[in-house]
A and B are shown apart, each in its own frame.
Chain A
Amino acid sequence: MEIAFTAEEQAFQDDVRRFLARELPADIRDKVYNARHLDRDEYVRWQKILHAKGWGAPAWPVEFGGPGWSAIQQHIFDEEMALAGAPRTVPFGPKMVAPVIMKFGSPEQQKRFLPRIIAMDDWWCQGYSEAGSGSDLASLKTRAVRDGDHYIVSGQKTWTTLAQYANWIFCLVRTRPDGKAQAGISFLLIDMKTPGVSVHPIITLDGAHEVNETWFDDVRVPVSNLVGEENKGWTYAKFLLGHERTNIAGIGASKRELQRLKKIASTETRNGKPLLDDPHFASRVAQVEIDLMALEVTNLRVLSAERSRRDPGAVSSILKIKGSEIQQTISELAMLAAGPYALADVRQARDAGGAQGLLGPAHATPLAATYFNLRKTTIYGGSNEIQRNIIAHMILGL
């Protein structure tokens, strides 16, 4: 047993740090540090910098352009990125659809899509959920009917994150209406510029436009865009769900946000002292930091088990549950730290042209919005209730 990184791992970490110090654009970093929304171009600009270095897709095998890193190296990379204030990787292309295309796609699909994913020439989004099918995803109804060399797709997907930026969507569609629900689903890649595709914004709790409804009205999709075999889509989707284990806990980002929380709490005062010196508040900050430490070690144990090729099983559910709860707690404490100033919906006021020169500190402005936004983390990606069901069934055998 040894908790410290090896000399090589440390050298790798230094490498990553040097790269980030040199290459991460200050304007992007400042936005990330202040929890402001990035626009499409900012995500793309950063991805292109990573790609030029050969680090565009840390988890990909070398044959597809990955750097060939170990799980520990990927973990180090993710964490350094987050701490430095690099944008989060938009997961839908490199982390979601790419592994499916690598494993189940045709060589033509691999050649066509993978290079454009790593260079972020395409922006992908995920078309799984429907109004009637969230936790019970297998009940999905969007239909794809074969018509010669095409499928004709009709139905509605919802909650599609950043579909307003996307030009491709990977969808689960029903290709066989009868029989067992899971056995009639296919995995289809759809060009969003095809006639019949439309994207409709959904405004969320925090007042932001991050998700959408994506409608398909008799959309003609070439059969060559089917991944793998017809009616095997559920298997691929499950593969995808189990695939992305590293970084599901968001430890790097939580460490960064914890630092920000401490900074805010050391400038805010309570009873004439920095809030961070207030025993009650300090112990709450300490508690979440301790939870995060424990989660980090749990995460390293999972990575280590993967290295020795033992199946970590449903443990990713543990990482998801604790990781999301920690993110939420940190954002909640940061909002409470700002006190009454967190009441101002300043983004809105700024839109209306009048928020200059408010009396509160600048850090107060996005804190409530961030707290609101992160309520999503216990809902999406398999809600925490569903994750607990998985633990009960798969680990505990109940």
Chain B
Amino acid sequence: MDFEFTEDQNLLAETVQKFMAARYGSESRRAAHKTPGTWSRDVWRTLAEMGIVGLLVPAEQGGIDGGPVETMLVMNAFGAGMLLEPYWSSAVFATALLRRLGGPAAAKLLASLAVGEHLAAVAHAEPGARYDDRVQTLARKAAGGWTLSGAKSVVIGGGAADTLLVTARVQGGDGVSVFAIPRTAEGVRLREYPTIDWRGAADVTLEDVRVKSEALLGGEGAAQKPLDDAQDVALAALCADAVGSMKAALEATGKYLQTREQFGQPIGKFQALQHRMADMLIHFEQAKSMAYLAAMQCEAPDAGERRKAMSAAKVVIGQSGRYIAQQAVQLHGGMGMADELDVSHYFRRLTAHELTLGDTDHHLEKFAAATR
């Protein structure tokens, strides 16, 4: 057992933190939010040049072949600086899925993702399915390829994606398959909107979308395991992003309590607020532990152990994130409600994370089922 990072990992964390501090202030976020899709291709290119976009891409496809710990460190920094660019959806979730699906078509996509020219998003969740893996999108065999029909809701990063990795069932077959569908394909309709934390998302409908046979990635009906594996990698990354936001919210609040004066003293002198901050810190440390656990277990071969760890992590992250977000706003008083301050945005981001890849109740139930 060892909770230390390697020298390379520390260097990576520093590099990304420096980038965020130098290039990703509140103003550039606000500017990005005003542009359609709420992200900046410039920022994306820089991240690609730094090798960060290709972090999870294998070396053969031009990536740096990183793992969950590297991802955690990068996501900590992105959560603290509240990156709007679709890193999590494209460079983590979609990349992890492509890697696990394998095959020449996926390898080609990975190579173009690594250089930052191309983006992808996993289009999996469906209307009415809540957080469940219920896939009704249908793929039918057609001459020289496939025809897909169905609907996908709240695809994070969907608007920015050039390729949608769409989960579907093959008509007459068993299991889930993944198809790579260009966003420009005929019959694909995207309705883009910002999420509550200013990132981009889209609802996607597919109406008799025709694609070539190579669009099927991995084997027919064989995508459930790659999908589960990729979702856990993405879940661990999400936890790390949340921990980054929690830390930043905690620090901002601590600073505020030391500088804001009422009744002739810093409000941090009031014991009621000291205890609240102490509880926030306890929540933060618990959350950080679970983000570590999630990073260490998200690729564990034992499915039962992994399920337990991942759901437990999401529960703790959800609860801690909500407590810290709410109290950070509360302790800032009226200023906590102001859009102008970052705290209100940490609040938004932490709320969004709780609603992504299964909320606290969903994972409580999964945990209970895994430990029965």
Contact = CB atoms under 8 A, between A and B. Distances in A.
Interface string B331-372: 001101111100010011001100110010100110000000
Contacts of A270: 130
A159 B205 CA distance: 43
Interface string B215-258: 00000000000000000000000000000000000000000000
A355 B264 CA distance: 49
A265 to B, nearest CB: 12
B274 to A, nearest CB: 12
B348 A205 contact: yes
Contacts of B195: 343-345
Interface in A119-152: 129, 132-136, 139
Q: Is the interface of A mostly helix, strand, loop or mixed?
A: mixed
Contacts of A352: 36, 193
A280 B355 contact: no
Nearest to A384: B330
A339 B355 contact: yes
Given A135-B263, A202-B338, A335-B351, 15 more contacts: A134-B333, A139-B263, A203-B340, A268-B130, A270-B130, A340-B131, A340-B356, A344-B196, A349-B194, A359-B127, A369-B196, A371-B351, A375-B330, A379-B337, A385-B272
B21 to A, nearest CB: 25
B347 A388 contact: no
Contacts of B329: 205, 375, 379
B278 to A, nearest CB: 15
A253 B70 CA distance: 49
A348 B193 CA distance: 8
A204 B359 contact: no
Nearest to B360: A336
Nearest to B353: A343
B194 A360 contact: no
A182 B364 CA distance: 52
A203 B338 CA distance: 6
6 contacts: A203-B338, A203-B340, A205-B329, A268-B130, A341-B154, A343-B154
Contacts of B330: 375, 378-379, 383-384
Contacts of B36: 352
A45 B329 CA distance: 35
Contacts of A280: 361, 364-365
A357 interface: yes
Nearest to B265: A136
A207 B355 contact: no
B348 A372 contact: yes
A190 to B, nearest CB: 21
CB-based closest 8 A-B pairs: A349-B193, A136-B262, A203-B339, A205-B344, A359-B153, A359-B127, A359-B203, A340-B154
A260 to B, nearest CB: 19
Interface in A245-281: 268-271, 278, 280-281
Nearest to A275: B130
Contact of B356 (A132, A343, A376): A343
- The contact size tier of chain A is 35 or more
For B132, B262, B273, B352, which residue has the most chain A Cβ atoms within 10 angstroms? B262
A221 interface: no
B191 interface: yes
Contacts of B340: 202-203
B196 A342 contact: yes
For A139, A278, A368, which residue has the most chain B Cβ atoms within 10 angstroms? A368
A354 interface: yes
B192 interface: yes
Interface string B311-338: 0000000000000001001100110111
A66 B128 CA distance: 51
Contacts of A378: 330
A346 interface: yes
Nearest to A341: B154
B194 A129 contact: no
B16 interface: no
For B130, B198, B340, which residue has the most chain A Cβ atoms within 10 angstroms? B130
A334 to B, nearest CB: 13
A126 B162 CA distance: 51
A155 B361 CA distance: 49
Contacts of B91: none
Given A136-B262, A281-B361, A345 B334 contact: no
Contacts of A204: 337-339, 344
A358 B152 CA distance: 11
Nearest to A280: B361
A336 B262 contact: no
Given A339-B355, A375-B326, A344 B334 contact: no
B355 A346 contact: no
Given A280-B364, A385-B273, A379 B125 contact: no
Contact of A368 (B127, B130, B334, B351): B351
Contacts of B192: 349, 354
Contacts of A132: 261
B155 to A, nearest CB: 10
Contact of A341 (B153, B270, B338, B352): B153
B247 to A, nearest CB: 20
B201 interface: yes
For B193, B355, B361, which residue has the most chain A Cβ atoms within 10 angstroms? B193
Interface in A315-368: 335-336, 339-346, 348-349, 352, 354-360, 368
A380 interface: yes
B151 interface: yes
A358 B355 CA distance: 18
Contact of B337 (A205, A281, A385): A205
Contact of B196 (A368, A383, A384): A368
B154 A360 contact: yes
Contacts of B131: 339-340
B334 A159 contact: yes
Interface string B110-146: 0000000000000001011011100000000000000
Contacts of B267: 135
A358 B193 contact: yes
Contacts of B337: 204-205, 211, 375-376, 379
A158 B153 contact: no
B347 A372 contact: yes
Nearest to B132: A271
Contact of A346 (B193, B352, B364): B193
Contacts of B205: 359
A376 B333 CA distance: 8
Contact of B339 (A135, A205, A268, A345): A205
